[in-house]
Amino acid sequence: MHLTETAYAKINLALHVRRRREDGYHELETLFAFVDAGDELSVRSADVDRLETHGEFAGTLDNPFDNIVAKALGALPRPDGWAVTLDKRLPVAAGLGGGSADAGAVFRMIERAQGLPDDWHVRAAKLGADVPACVLSRPCIGTGTGTDLAEVAENDLAGCPVLLVNPRAPVPTGPVFKGWDGLDRGAMPQGSLRHIALTGRNDLEAPALALCPVIGDVLAALAASTPFLARMSGSGATCFALYDDLEARDAAAARIATEYPEWWQLAGALR
C-alpha cells in the first residue's frame, strides 16, 4: 500500500466570536475555506505505526510522536501499522490549521484505504475544533466551537487566486482568545462565499495584533496589492489576500518577496 494526500491549508474567510461559554470555550461562527496546497503526507504499510517528519517547518515539532498525526492514527482502528512521512510545509501556530489539516489528511487516507466509521466526526472533533472541517477540506460554515458544520450551497470562490503571507511569528491560539474583548459584534452574514467573506470580519484580529504587531505590517502589504479582500486567518499570524486574477496575485507575491524576503508566503487558489 502506498497513499499520498495533501493537507490543504485552512483559512477563515470570516470568524465571528459570539460569546464565552461556561466550559471555557467560545461560541463561534466561521466560514472555512481551503487552499489547493499545504503539507504533504505519504503512507506505506508497516508492522507498527511510525511517523517521520521533514520539510521547512519540521523542526518546530518538538516531539513528532506527540504530533496530531500520531493521534489521528490512534483515533481510527486499522488492521496494520502505517509508516507516515510528513513534509511540513505550513508554518506552525499560524492560523492555517496546519496540524488539523494533517489530521484531516490522515482521515482521508484511511477513508480511501478502508472507509471511515460512522462516528468519524466525533473522533475528529476530539483531536481539535478545526479537524472535522479539515477532513472535508471543502468550504463550510462552522458553529459552536467550530465543529458543527454545514456546507455552503454556493461556492462562488472556487479557483479564486489567493496569497498567504506569514511574518514567521508564531501566535498561540489561547492567548489570542483570552485577549478577545467579549463584545458580540453580530452574527455572520448568510449567502455565497464571496458575500460572507466581504461582509464578515475576524474578531480575533485585534487581540492578535496586540500580541503580534507585525500582523499589521502584513495586512498593510497585502492591502497595497489591491486585492478584493485582505484579512487575517484564524488567530493569526497568517494573513490572506483574494484576487480577481492570477496576474494580480503573482505581482503581489513578487513585490512582497522583494520587500520582505524574510516572510513566508504561499500562492495558490481556493478549492
Domain made up of 161-269: CATH architecture: 2-Layer Sandwich (3.30)
Summarize pLDDT for 115-148 with one digit per residue, the tens: 999 999 999 999 999 999 999 999 999 999 999 9
pLDDT number for residue 154: 85
Residue 233 reports pLDDT greater than 90: yes
Locate the domains of the chain by residue range. Answer: 2-151, 161-269
Residue 162 reports pLDDT greater than 90: yes
Domain made up of 2-151: CATH architecture: 2-Layer Sandwich (3.30)
Q: Which ranges of the chain does DSSP label H, i.e. alpha helix?
A: 68-75, 98-114, 120-127, 131-136, 173-178, 193-199, 205-211, 214-223, 246-259
pLDDT number for residue 67: 86
259-270 average pLDDT score:
98
100-108 average pLDDT score:
98
Q: Cα-atom radius of gyration of the chain, to the nearest Å? A: 18
Q: Is 31 helix (H, G, I), strand (E, B) or coil?
A: strand
* % of the chain residues with pLDDT over 90: 94
Q: Which residues are catalytic?
A: 10, 130
pLDDT band at 60 (very low <50, low <70, confident <90, very high): confident
Residue 65 reports pLDDT greater than 60: no
Give CA torsion, residues 106, 110, 113, 117, to 10 deg: -170
